[in-house]
Amino acid sequence: MATALLIVIFIAFIGLGVPDSLFGTACPAIYAGVGVPVSWANFVTVPISACTVFSSLMSARLVKKFGTGVVTAASTVLTALALLGFSLSGSFAFLCVCALPLGLGAGAIDTALNNYVATHYKASHMNFLHCFYGVGVSLSPFLMSLALSDNADWHRGYFIVFFVQAGIAALTLITLPLWYKVKGEKAEEEKKFSSAGLKQVVKIPALRRMWIVFFAACAAEYTCGSWGSTFLVESRGLSVDSAALAVTFYYAGLALGRFVSGLVSGRVKSEKLVWTGQFILLAAVLCALVPNAVAAQVALFFAGFGIGPVFPNLIHLTPANFGEENSQAAMSTQMAASYVGIMLMPSVFGLLADAFGAKWFPVYVLALALIMIFFHFSVSRALKRAKTLDSGEKKV
């Protein structure tokens, strides 16, 4: 029964990924079609991220009251309805309105399922969970690229993706009884809420620095997904449909990186997987600086492959880094930092692209990668010192 439920969770995480890459892929066609500047994309992406932050903070209460299964199903239905709204939109203002339910649904399902898998399943399952997210974010830009190559109709692309999301929503509703049959869910969830609170964990210096790692990692990941297409069109001369396909390969790299990470997680430590991914990302971004369309597309794929293992392995390391008694509250703050990075930094690049051009995309992502690596190194040193002190006290 637990295996069947895990399959449903994996498919639900595909549904989490489906909307995340769609707007960035369709953005060049959208702002050209509705006649707005590039930076106006922020009026859609910022509300999505703000609502995601809000719903992720509320998800703990919702899960406690309704259970993970109900929150997952309701959130997936909400995102499907939002995608339908995008497909029927006749104005930019209505796109902004549809952004609100899209963000509310995404935050709740992300936090609820991450917590559930961290509590009930192995580290490899966490990597595979985020691999399935990569499947979702790879699927939707591929479908959008097909729609754009046909007649440049982004409405049709959203409508096709809506049907995919509606099917996933139907599955989460039909399989709700599975959640109640899996033994011990309620007891485990009640245990989570008895852990340390936010007031205790925010006093941990290493955790405060870890927020910057999560902030920069997710900022880099989402900036690549949101603005990679625009960069390829405006700075490397690709057509809109070719750029959309290239972003599909970025998300395919993201999924592949997480899949490989899941395969080797039993033999390679999570910390090593994080470092490896970070340096692959760094090399890929340096490659994107080369003024060549092919190099830029290859770089985008490897940027996804590198950044892929970083987030799930950092999530998995939370109990080991900060103690099991602090892990739930620490996880909440890390997720919040991630969403703030997702909300702010792609939007900041939108303003920069509007003022100076999308050619600065590789430099911007490079800066985020260096910030992430620097603070991860700082956190690692601090945690090693703390463990050395703890072991010394035990010997005494």
Distances in Å between the Cα of 2 and the Cα atoms of 121, 182, 333 are: 9, 6, 28
Residues 336 and 213: beta-carbon distance below 8 Å: no
Residues 188 and 329: beta-carbon distance below 8 Å: no
pLDDT band at 284 (very low <50, low <70, confident <90, very high): very high
Residues 55 and 108: beta-carbon distance below 8 Å: yes
Residues 197 and 373: beta-carbon distance below 8 Å: no
Percent residues over pLDDT 90 in the chain: 30
pLDDT, tens digit, for every residue of 199-248?
677 778 888 899 999 999 999 998 998 888 889 988 888 888 788 888 88
Residues 261 and 313: beta-carbon distance below 8 Å: yes
Where is pLDDT greater, at 72 or 41? 72
Q: Is the pLDDT of residue 296 over 50?
A: yes
Helix pair angle (42-66, 324-356), 10° resolution: 160
Q: Is 269 helix (H, G, I), strand (E, B) or coil?
A: coil
- d(CA 51, CA 327) in angstroms, rounded, equals 24
Residues 63 and 71: beta-carbon distance below 8 Å: yes
Percent residues over pLDDT 70 in the chain: 89
Question: φ and ψ at 195, to 5 degrees?
Answer: -80, 180
Residue 378: the pLDDT is 93
Q: Is the pLDDT of residue 361 over 70?
A: yes
Q: How many domains is the chain partitioned into structurally?
A: 1
Read off the tokens for 216: 């920069």
Residue 74: the pLDDT is 93
Read off the tokens for 300: 């985008």
pLDDT band at 396 (very low <50, low <70, confident <90, very high): very low
pLDDT, tens digit, for every residue of 134-186?
788 778 878 888 887 766 578 888 898 999 999 999 999 999 998 887 755 54
Residue 339: the pLDDT is 85
pLDDT band at 273 (very low <50, low <70, confident <90, very high): very high
**Mean pLDDT for all residues in the chain:** 83
Residue 65: the pLDDT is 82
Mean predicted confidence (pLDDT) in 334-348: 86
Mean predicted confidence (pLDDT) in 35-51: 77
Q: Which residues constitute the domain of residue 97?
A: 2-395
Q: Give me the count of residues in the chain.
A: 396
Residues 214 and 314: beta-carbon distance below 8 Å: yes
- The CATH number assigned to the domain holding 316 equals 1.20.1250.20
pLDDT, tens digit, for every residue of 11-32?
999 988 888 778 877 777 777 6
Residue 192: the pLDDT is 47
Where is pLDDT greater, at 194 or 276? 276
Residue 73: the pLDDT is 93
Cα 119 from chain centre: 20
Q: Which of 34-48, 141-155, 215-229, 382-396 has the lowest mean pLDDT?
A: 382-396
Distances in Å between the Cα of 154 and the Cα atoms of 28, 81, 165, 294, 367 are: 10, 17, 17, 25, 32
Mean predicted confidence (pLDDT) in 252-279: 89
pTM for the whole thing? 0.75
Q: Which of 158, 76, 138, 67 is nearest to 110 (CA)?
A: 76
Residue 84: the pLDDT is 94
Give buried/exposed letters for 176-202 (b at 16+ CB in 10 A, else e). Answer: eebbeebeebeeebeebeebbeeeebe
Residue 32: the pLDDT is 66
Q: Is the pLDDT of residue 320 over 90?
A: no
- Count of CB atoms within 10 A of residue 355's CB? 10
Residue 18: the pLDDT is 85
Residue 193: the pLDDT is 43
- d(CA 135, CA 148) in angstroms, rounded, equals 20
Mean predicted confidence (pLDDT) in 119-133: 81
Q: Is the pLDDT of residue 259 over 90?
A: no
Residues 6+ positions from 332 with CB-CB distance below 8 Å: 56, 57, 60, 111, 198
Q: Is the pLDDT of residue 196 over 60?
A: no
